[in-house]
Every structure is written in C-alpha cells, then in structure tokens.
Amino acid sequence: MNTDTNAATPPWQRLAQGAMAACLGVMAIAVFINVVLRYGFGSGVAASEELSRLLFVWMVFIGATAAYPAGEHMAFTSLVGMLRQKPLAMGLMTAVIRLLVLMGCTLLAWGAWQQVVVGMDSHSVVLGYPTALLPLPAMLCAMAIGLMALIELVRRTPLDLGHGAEVE
C-alpha cells in the first residue's frame, strides 16, 4: 500500500471507502455461506438475502456520495468544454449545472423522505429491521451531494471537466 496516496486521501474519503469495503465484505461472506448451505446441505440462511440487499443499497449511496467531490460521476463535458475560452458563458453554465444538481437532489431527498416515513411502521420479514433503512441512504446521499453542490455554487468553484480530455 502506498503511504503517499493514503496521506493525501481525506479522512472522510477513507471512512467512506472503509464503510463500502465493510458492506461488500459482509455481503460476500453472507452470500457465500448461504450458497454453500443451500447447495451443500439443502438449507440456507433466510436473513442472507435481506442483509445483502440492505448493505448493497447503503454501499451504493455511500459510494455515490464519496464520488461527487472526487468528480467521478458521469459527466458529458464535450458541450461544456467548448465554453472554456468564454469565461462568462462557462461561469453561467457552471451555475446552471449546479442548480440542476440541487434540483435533482431536492427531488431525490423529498421522495426518499416520503419512503422513510412510510417505512417507519413496517419491518422486514426476516431480520425485522425498519424498512425505512432502505430509502434512508438515498435521502442522506441527496442531502450531502446537494450541500456540496450548494457550497460549490456559493464559492463559484470552477467546473471540473476531468483529466484534460477534449471529448468524453
């Protein structure tokens, strides 16, 4: 493991990577044990599927949240890249993009919150956890990305067009 890379990685990013690795590790172990028990002994662990589903949802949204500040979300930069030589147009387009991100995050957070409220009174069949835990990471992810986009909008952070590519 390269210690220089670790030193440059922010603590929140290492925490997110650790949480995703833990989710993936528990999922892999649970599914492996379930497969061995089903095919080897004719019975499985019913909780394995629910646990894997819950951890997968959390892992995806933790990853989506961690990917935003790193500029790793999918972007169509070819049209915006043509505005590089026009600072005013580029600044305006950056603001429009950030406002669209905020709008998308608001819609996602609102819809996820509605699902959290609906899931408060119901519980999963096998493990018995509140089903509100399934949409909760979507709401938290939308709030975190929305906050980051708002901060970038207020600070007028330039749009990261990625690794210097002309067309993506």
- Examine the domain organization and report whether 55 and 83 are in the same domain: no
Under 8 Å between Cβ of 138 and 63: no
Find the domain containing 101 and state its range: 75-168
- Examine the domain organization and report whether 86 and 135 are in the same domain: yes
**Residue pLDDT, tens place only, 126-156:** 999 999 999 999 999 999 999 999 999 999 9
DSSP structural state of residue 133: G
1-5, 105-109, 123-127 — which is least confidently predicted?
A: 1-5
- Examine the domain organization and report whether 50 and 81 are in the same domain: no
Under 8 Å between Cβ of 66 and 18: no
- Examine the domain organization and report whether 87 and 162 are in the same domain: yes
- Examine the domain organization and report whether 37 and 81 are in the same domain: no
Banded model confidence at residue 1, pLDDT cuts 50, 70, 90: very low
pLDDT for residue 84 is more than 90:
no
Banded model confidence at residue 5, pLDDT cuts 50, 70, 90: low
| Total count of domains within the chain | 2
Among 19, 42, 67, the domain boundary falls at 67
- Examine the domain organization and report whether 51 and 81 are in the same domain: no
- Examine the domain organization and report whether 90 and 165 are in the same domain: yes
Q: Flag whether the pTM goes above 0.75.
A: yes
Under 8 Å between Cβ of 141 and 61: yes
pLDDT > 70 in the chain, percent: 91
